[in-house]
Amino acid sequence: MIKGYDLVKGKHVLLLICIVLPLMSYPHTINYALEAAPTHDVVWFYFKLGVNHIVPYGLDHILFVVSLCLLNNKFKTILWQATAFTVAHTITLALSMKGIIHLPAGIVEPLIALSIAFVAIENILLSELKPWRIAIIFMFGLVHGMGFASALNEIGLPRNKFYTSIFSFNVGVEIGQISIISLVFLLLIIPFGKKPGFRKFIVYPLSALIALVALYWTFERMA
């Protein structure tokens, strides 16, 4: 009787190992359709996915990037902020897709919205960029990276081209961000950035609108 029980128990353990091991090896969703595809097709697919995740579908990320441009409109300063954001979201995106870190979407999505509101409100309260902003942007980038991972996991990644896919997606995201920064420069900063009423008539109302939208998203996503 005991031997029979041990045999059944052993089968259950073996079955559990067979189920768990593949999940441990490939914690992300697998894109089987692209596993046999040529590398250039994989690169192009995830590059477009990264761009589209910002433009036109990533309104929350668009508002975040716009907010980065408003407190200090020097291109070099904005570039430093964007770089800190990119490095941070690249780290958490890769770690999340590897299954090393994980936060539920119910936590990540409200935090992303709250980060947008924070930056927008800071644009109103401060008259100049403070040194701590880069560190804050980096921390927010870590959160946004987990949001990117959640979206990317819906599509999945080919197992044999994991890093190629991640890199291509990130390049696409970066191109999307640069396009938003360029648009803000062309429409707002170049024509109005040096005018006396720039903060009063552009920075304050635009930041207030972004903050209100982001706070609405925060409570909506929490609910």
Render pLDDT for 22-59 as a digit per residue (tens, 0 to 9). Answer: 334 456 688 888 888 999 999 999 999 999 999 999 99
Percent of the chain topping pLDDT 70: 87
Residue bearing tokens 């909506």 = 220
Name the nearest CA neighbour of 92 among 108, 115, 75: 108
pTM of full prediction above 0.85: no
Break the chain into its structural domains and give their ranges.
1-29, 31-222
Position 63 pLDDT exceeds 90: yes
Q: What is the pLDDT of residue 58?
A: 92
Could you give the CA distance from residue 167 to residue 116 in angstroms, rounded to a whole number?
A: 25
Confidence of residue 132 (pLDDT cuts 50, 70, 90): confident
Most distant CA pair in the chain, distance: 89
Please tell me whether residue 75 adopts helix, strand or coil conformation. Answer: helix
